[in-house]
A = this chain, B = another copy of it.
Amino acid sequence: MGLLSDISADSPFSLDNIPFGVFSIKQDPTPRCATAIGEFALDLRALSQSGFFQDASVADALSQATLNTFAGLPAKTRTAARDQIISACKDGQIPDSCLHKLAEVKMHLPVAIPEYTDFFCSLEHCTNCMPITNSKIPENFYHAPSAYNGRASSVIPSPSLVRRPRGVYWKAGTKEPTYGLSQFIDFELEMGYVVSKPVPYGETIKVDDAPDHVFGFVLLNDWSSRDIQIFEMPPLGPFNSKSFGTTISPWIITLDALKAFQCAPKHSTHPLEHLRFKDFEHGTFNIKLAASLERDGKRHQICTSNLRYLYWTPYQQITHHASANCGLRTGDLMGTGTVSGDGKDEKTGKKFELGCLFEATQHASQPIALEGGGKLGYLEDGDSVILSAWCEDSTGRRVLGFGECRGKLVGPDAPIS
């Protein structure tokens, strides 16, 4: 019996998952495509080169240094490749020589990301944030997904080191501009998804066809500098405040794996024509989310949430994006925006589905008391943020996981590679 004969049922990377990623090993730093099974990374380049895949387009795609070519294959072809991997695992046909312990490989970005877009689509997040800066919910919020173009060059794979940036902001409590180290570094609990089938420049898509354009999901930490953001937002939106680092989890969980967890969105909306997804009951995904802080070796859960809380679903987001004629390319990364909810602790009445510290601490005015002492306002150098996500079966058992999205905030001049 091979190494895969004993996969724990509790593994996030069970045979129901088969995520796609890219890794390298010390002895051979060339990045290669892979899947994760139990505690192992399965080298799909080696498997391809062994003649495992009958379909030459699959073998070729999985021999590349990124997953872009694979993500661009027809959905049916990708599904067949996944099915073949699952069968071979079950039948004990995966050579141990293609397996590497996950703990021993280095993960890379799974795709070369042509462009990165970040949405702002959680009504609860919006409702929580606006009063903190004396703003109202924007009138456009209810009529179309809001978004800004992010900076793809700053998207990095977990586990990542992120330098505290310098920038321009108003000195606390004044209108005196300063250039200096950002004082208010936050995380944002988001998911990301990767474009598969491209949309040519000048073309648009129908919302019912949106699933054809999504390869799969990752976790995404949209690190944010709140002082720089408050300075620079009007009128062009976030820019430098969001481009010092965006950490994503390295394994892409495919729509095939997520099919069993399709569900209706939490909010029932009456969108404009181009955003009406017919199959409302399968319009989004029931994916549980959590964010934790690690400080001084201790881990503290900060919040939980669920992808289905989003007011605008990923399918509506990507359709609205493409409606501009801008074109989408395979590998483009979409961030869902911070996902918050309105869950409250039964005893204390405190909200616990607050997807960033700006919300959770009311812009650091109400720091979180950490178990064992200490307070959390914004992040300190040395703090790690860990996002996680999973899907549960009807009994509440975790049957599929996303792995960790881990990032550590370090000082402005600390080494990061």
Contact = CB atoms under 8 A, between A and B. Distances in A.
Interface in A311-331: 320-321, 323-329
A138 B235 contact: yes
Contacts of A241: 324
A130 B204 CA distance: 32
Contacts of A149: 148-151, 239, 243
Interface string A104-118: 000000000011000
**Identical subunits present:** 2
Interface stretch (A88-96, A160-168, A248-256, A294-302): A160-168
Nearest to A327: B153
Given A144-B168, A148-B148, A168-B272, A324 B179 contact: no
Contacts of A114: 114, 152-153
A393 interface: no
Given A149-B151, A329-B153, A324 B235 contact: no
A177 B235 contact: no
A185 to B, nearest CB: 12
A112 to B, nearest CB: 10
Contacts of A243: 149, 324-326
A150 B273 CA distance: 26
Q: Give the size range of A's interface with the partner.
A: 35 or more
A135 B273 contact: no
Contacts of A327: 153-154
Interface in A382-417: 416-417
A244 B326 contact: yes
A138 B115 CA distance: 28
A326 B147 contact: no
Interface string A196-239: 00000110100000000000000000000000100111111111
A245 to B, nearest CB: 7
Contacts of A165: 323-325
Interface in A237-294: 237-241, 243-245, 272-274
A178 B275 CA distance: 12
A231 B329 CA distance: 26
26 contacts: A115-B151, A115-B152, A120-B236, A139-B234, A140-B177, A140-B232, A148-B237, A148-B239, A149-B151, A149-B239, A149-B243, A153-B201, A154-B324, A165-B324, A167-B324, A168-B272, A168-B320, A177-B272, A179-B323, A202-B417, A235-B237, A236-B238, A240-B320, A240-B326, A243-B324, A244-B324
Interface of A: 114-115, 120, 135, 138-140, 143-144, 146-154, 156, 163, 165-168, 175, 177-179, 201-202, 204, 228, 231-241, 243-245, 272-274, 320-321, 323-329, 416-417
Given A166-B323, A243-B325, 13 more contacts: A120-B236, A140-B231, A144-B168, A144-B177, A149-B150, A153-B327, A163-B202, A165-B323, A165-B325, A167-B323, A179-B273, A240-B326, A244-B325
